Structure 1
Amino acid sequence: MLDVILHPTYFPNIVHFVAMVKSDSVCFEVCDNYQKQSYRNRTEIYGANGKLALTVPVSYSQKNRQLYRDVKIANEDDWQLQHLKSLQSAYSMSPFFEFYIDDLMPLFETKFDFILDLNFKCFEILQDSLQLELNISESAVFEKEPLNKTDYRPLVKRNYEANNLEKYTQVFTEKHGFIPNLSILDLLFNEGPNTELYLTRQSVNLC
């Protein structure tokens, strides 16, 4: 049995999904303090000029520690439209963009107050699009060293490097080469129904 714990993130990167697909149960960490400079509110895609970060603006002060679940989205900026336009620009020529984009539209047309709510809805839609059957739960308390779970929470850090991922064809591969561990959207738009098979062939390395 492989039971894992990790953070819900915005359009999770490929390694996050590898960890989930290869586990027997997934526990989402929802009792931690929010930390900046992570994938909690950020995803990375492959644009015409290379790697492009899409960041959800949040109202957060470093002075007062906040729980992840309490952090609000700064909806003054029209970030949803900007993210949608970036995805259209990056992936409109990909083989499966038109197949999946309608499923994702509620994420760009619905106002979310909290980043955690957005991330859970994001995961829910992706799980449905990928037709993944996963055993999901949420943490009840914060455990620095979780019992009986493989701790994949470090995957949320932006300095995590996944250099062992198998290459696949990306829209701008000929311009900038293969870029590993982007948002699951990059894999989904390029590989479509083969996405799950690709994920099961990969491994997670925390070293």
Structure 2
Amino acid sequence: MFCFFDISQYQKKEWDNRNKIYTHNGELMLSVPTKSQKHFDKTIGEIEVNNETNWAEKQYKSIFLNYKNHPFFENHKPFLEDMYLNQRWNKLVDLNVYFFKYILKLLDQNIPIVMASNYDFQGQKSDLVLD
């Protein structure tokens, strides 16, 4: 079982909403825009995606243009199209779980995923992992 820790505090400029791809010009940071209302007191599970821009289409285009000729890209293209072009993400955690499930599928791992927010943990900060 894998517990997705959606109750931990969201930290701006960390990897919860960012990743890098490699381009012919070097690294390119891809960031999912979030609604910026008092992030410091929100959990990862509470963070909303800011869909007022066309971030998903731009990111898909960046990935497509930089990887379309790479081996195996066509294998992942349907997933990328679905994630970026067909879905509309309201919560960042939903996007992250969707992506994580795809990685598990690629690794042929049939691991149940549970959300920490579905349990009544009592610990605070780093003590939460002990619960």
Q: TM-score range by the shorter chain?
A: 0.7 to 0.9
Shift of 1:43: 0.9
Corresponding position of 1:195: none
Letter aligned with residue 101 of structure 2: E
Name the amino acid aligned to 1:112: W
1:121 to partner: Cα distance: 1.2
- Say if 1:72 and 1:114, in contact at 8 Å, map to a contact too: yes
Partner of 2:130: 147
Q: State the partner residue of 1:17.
A: none
**In the alignment, is residue 30 of structure 1 matched against residue 13 of structure 2?**
no
For the aligned residue pairs, the C-alpha RMSD in angstroms reads 2.0
Counterpart of 2:114 in structure 1 is 137
Letter in 1 for 2:35: S
Whole-angstrom CA distance in 2 between matches of 1:132 and 1:57: 30
Q: 1:96 aligns with which of 63, 69, 72?
A: 72
Post-superposition offset of 1:54: 0.5
Q: What is aligned with 2:103?
A: 126
Other-structure match for 1:107: 83
Q: Secondary structure at the match of 1:59?
A: coil
In the alignment, structure 1 residue 44 sits paired with structure 2 residue 20:
yes
Render the CA deviation track for 1:35-87: whole Å, top value 9, x for unaligned.
10111000111111111110000002347611211111110110110010010
SS in 2 for 1:105: helix
Taking the aligned partners of 2:107 and 2:76, their CA distance within structure 1 comes to: 10
**Separation in structure 2 between the aligned mates of residue 27 and residue 69 of structure 1, nearest angstrom:** 13
SS at match of 1:51: strand
Structure 1 contact 100–129 (Cα < 8 Å) conserved:
no
SS at match of 1:72: coil
| Alignment match, 2:32 | 56
Q: Residue 9 of structure 2 contacts residue 40 of structure 2 at CA under 8 Å; is this kept in 1? A: no
Higher helix share: 2
Residue 26 of structure 1, CA deviation = 2.8
Question: 2:130 is matched by which residue type in structure 1?
Answer: L
Alignment-derived partner of residue 68 in structure 1: 44
Rounded to whole Å, the distance in 1 between the matches of 2:26 and 2:15 is 18
Distance (Å, rounded) in 2 between the aligned partners of 1:37 and 1:64: 12
Q: What SS is found at the alignment partner of 1:52?
A: strand
Letter of the aligned partner of 2:21 in structure 1? I
> Distance between the aligned counterparts of 1:99 and 1:69, measured in 2?
30
Amino acid of the structure 1 residue aligned with 2:68:
S
Q: Normalising by structure 2, what TM-score?
A: 0.82
1:27 shift after superposition:
2.1
